[in-house]
Structure 1
Amino acid sequence: MLPDLADLLADAHVVALPMRVRFRGITTREAVVLRGPSGWTEFSPFVEYDDAEAAAWLRAAVDFGWTDHEPTAGSVPVNATVPAIVADDVADLLRRYPGCTTAKVKVAEPGTTVDDDVARVAAVRRAMGPDAAVRVDANGLWSVDQAAAALERLAPFDLQYAEQPCATVPELAALRDRIDGLGVRIAADESVRKATDPLAVARAGAADVLVVKAQPLGGVTAARRVIAEAGLPCVVSSALDTSVGLGMGAFLAAAAMSPGYAAGLGTAVMFTGDVTTAPLLPVEGRVPVRRVEVSPELLARYAASPERSAWWRERVARVHALLAAAG
């Protein structure tokens, strides 16, 4: 049931967390953390998303904060995340992910070249060794031709998969056929979390792996249904959440993620601050599955400006009205 707006905002806090490096075009991550009867939860759709797209994120916040989800494991394995940094900085960054044996490497960043991508992936492989699992993520920024050419150069590094190399489901299907025999599997992310039909990519045979995120899919309950119906291996990842949102993802990963894969839930490393004194940082390559308690001191330290706080509260109110109207 959708709580009243007053109940939703009764203990809500807008924060702006500074990041170590630019990621996804931002250096500060804004989010709303709010407390429901089951614990702290999070609403943090990216600022460019419209209210209709943000509605799933608010459903997720309500699902986690107003439902007593039970943890089904003590911890889950996570990957290191390597932004589009220069190759010389890779080894230092990976030290922030102790025990991780999987790395996701950003590629196709605007302003960089395929040569930069190759050098970055090569540096990850050197630092982590031959037994590590290495993934690349293009965020849908390549054309089919560009993806085919880039993956041909990256394939010798023994990729676990290439995440969202192209933007659309037809492009992913065409690329998958084109690189057949190259030994690189295709994973879909945006084609799942931003689609009106998150299972369309699976039905089209356009991907080998699905990347699922709790908030964009409407929460732990809704995402578990998607995973159950997909019929493909699934990897749970974060949407650059605070540790509160990472806790939501960890509950999902423990309950529904395919064995043999590391979740993309180690991203608390990318922030220089958080909302809790016990952030979900990787330890021995894993993060715990638990609800996070926030720190009043840290909420105050990282509070967004009054203008940004008002913007987010107005956004919550608009999205809440959409959900209420939809029943």
Structure 2
Amino acid sequence: MPSAALPPLDEVIAAAHVVAIPTRTRFRGITMREAVVFDAPQGASEFSPFIEYDDAEAAPWLAAALDFGWAPQPDARRERIEVNATVPAVRADEVEAILARFPGCATAKVKVAERGQSLADDIARVNAVRDALGPEGLVRVDANGGWNVDEAVTALTQLAGFGLDYAEQPSASVSDLVAVRERIGERGIDVRIAADESVRKAEDPLAVARAGAADVLIVKAQPLGGVRRALSIVEGAGLPVVVSSALDTSAGIAMGLQLAAALPDDLLAGACGLGTVALLDGDVARSPLVPERGSIPVRRPALDPSLLDRYRAAPDRVDWWRDRLTRTYALI
């Protein structure tokens, strides 16, 4: 978003509401999701980089929030987006309850390689998901870069028997993804490799495509700078895409839905990871964007004043986020 198009900082701050919403289950180590949501001219928008990200990494998230909140968006090609269930690194006996929060979803993404857990834990969790979805369901795993190459090859060799749709970011670097992809191919293991962090955290998000490191790209609108910039990256990469989210409120999910709705048919690679409001124990919209019969309508929900008040962050956290917003605004 060019600087000339930025709304004034005082207008941005006036539109901002800082919220803290508990998660239903521990997710990426998080039990409370903090976010800034904007009551903006074009509709609700969101700025929610994770706490540990520095200002430079957070800048594209704010650029995305301002673009989505203050500028018209690309036309939608579809009215609903199929979504997958997201299963955190829970015990196998908790899987059924998690999947119940995603009614109608025939695809599930399962978190694996959680720190402090074992491959046996991952296998038990994936097995429980496969049993719950049945043979026709699609099962994906997401390691968030948690394995080295040898660990990834060992794990995917054992997990391949569950008929994986793909393995997301099994290892951290582009070169490691290349190595994993080559080695499982040599073993005849038919598991596609998807890249997430290697796209959204990279200075050059197209490097993963040029290196032949992945079969599928996972794209997220906020960290890539907004819907338009994400579309440009997707077109440049030429690989099939799944649009995902970062444990957003409905305001942020609406941005992801807009991105998924704008993708050409030949680039949208199935169910998207946009159902994660179901993992929050609350939301900022009275009518939240959660799965209905396995999909979510493409719409922008209105912020609910009573919910903004209920989930308003503590005063010190409001100050922290406003300071962060001001610093980050200076970088875009």
- Show the counterpart of 1:120: 125
Secondary structure of the equivalent of 1:112? Answer: coil
CA contact under 8 A between 2:242 and 2:269: conserved in structure 1?
no
Equivalent residue for 1:283? 292
Q: Which residue of 2 aligns with 1:268?
A: 277
Per-residue CA shift, 1:70-89, capped at 9, x if unaligned? 43321100000000011111
Q: Which residue of 1 is the match for residue 157 of structure 2?
A: 152
Q: Distance in 1 between matches of 2:331 and 2:276?
A: 30
Q: Among residues 39, 42, 47, which one is paired with 1:38 in the alignment?
A: 42
Q: Which residue of 44, 53, 56 maps to 2:57?
A: 53
| CA distance in 1: counterparts of 2:124 and 2:70, whole angstroms | 46
Which residue number corresponds to residue 246 of structure 1? Answer: 253
Measure, in 1, the Cα distance between the counterparts of 2:89 and 2:131. 17
CA distance in 1, matches of 2:237, 2:6: 27
Q: Which string of whole-angstrom CA distances, capped at 9 and with x for unpartnered residues, describes residues 191-221 of structure 1? A: 0000011110000000010000000000001
Which residue among 140, 154, 171 is the counterpart of 1:135? 140
> Residue 322 of structure 1: SS of its match in structure 2?
coil
Name the CA distance, whole Å, in 2 between partners of 1:227 and 1:260.
12
Mapped contact 2:19–2:35 kept (Cα < 8 A): yes
Q: Secondary structure at the match of 1:14?
A: strand
- For residues 24 and 176 of structure 1, what CA distance do their matches in structure 2 show? 25
1:310 partner amino acid: D
Name the SS for the 1:110 alignment partner: coil
- Distance in 1, matches of 2:11 and 2:39, equals 9
- The answer as to 2:302 corresponding to 1:298 is no
2:225 corresponds to 1:218: yes
Name the CA distance, whole Å, in 2 between partners of 1:47 and 1:64: 21
* Identical columns (%): 61
Cα offset, 1:67, TM superposition: 1.5
Q: Say whether 1:179 aligns with 2:184.
A: yes
Q: What SS does the aligned partner of 2:330 have?
A: helix
Aligned residue in 2 for 1:6: 10
Give yes or no for contact 2:240–2:269 (8 Å, CA) kept in 1. Answer: no
The corresponding residue for 1:66 is 70
Question: What do residues 22-77 of structure 1 show as CA deviations (whole Å, max 9, x unaligned)?
Answer: 00111000000012221111000001000001000011001101122243321100
Are 1:313 and 2:322 an aligned pair?
yes
1:200 aligns with 2:207: yes
Where 1:235 maps in the other structure, the secondary structure is strand
In the TM superposition, residue 260 of structure 1 has moved relative to its aligned partner by 4.6
CA contact (8 A) 1:187 1:208 kept: yes
Q: CA deviation at 1:263?
A: 0.4
Once the two structures are overlaid, the 10-residue window that deviates more, 248-257 or 175-184, is 248-257
Letter in 1 for 2:261: A
Tell me the alpha carbon deviations over residues 87-111 of structure 1, each in whole angstroms, 9 at most, x when there is no partner. Answer: 1111121111111010000000011
For 1:81, the equivalent position in structure 2 comes to 86
Aligned to 1:32, the other structure's residue is in SS state strand
The code of the aligned residue for 1:12 comes to A
2:192 counterpart of 1:191: no
Aligned partner of 1:185: which letter?
Answer: R
Q: CA deviation at 1:253?
A: 0.6
TM-score, normalised to structure 1, is 0.97
Q: Counterpart of 2:106?
A: 101
- Gaps of at least 5 residues in structure 2 are none
Provide the C-alpha distance between the structure 2 equivalents of 1:8 and 1:130, rounded to a whole number of angstroms.
49
Q: Is the 8 A contact 2:55 2:324 kept in 1?
A: yes
Asked if the contact 2:169–2:193 (Cα under 8 Å) also holds between the matched residues in 1, the reply is yes
| Secondary structure class of the residue paired with 2:25 | strand
For the Cα contact (< 8 Å) 2:46–2:252, is it kept in 1? yes
Provide, for residues 304-323 of structure 1, a one-character-per-residue CA deviation record: whole Å limited to 9, x for no partner. 00000000000000011111
**Number of residue-to-residue matches in the alignment:** 323
| TM score, norm. by length of structure 2 | 0.96
Distance 1:34 1:98 in 2: 29
Which residue among 159, 166, 176 is the counterpart of 1:161?
166
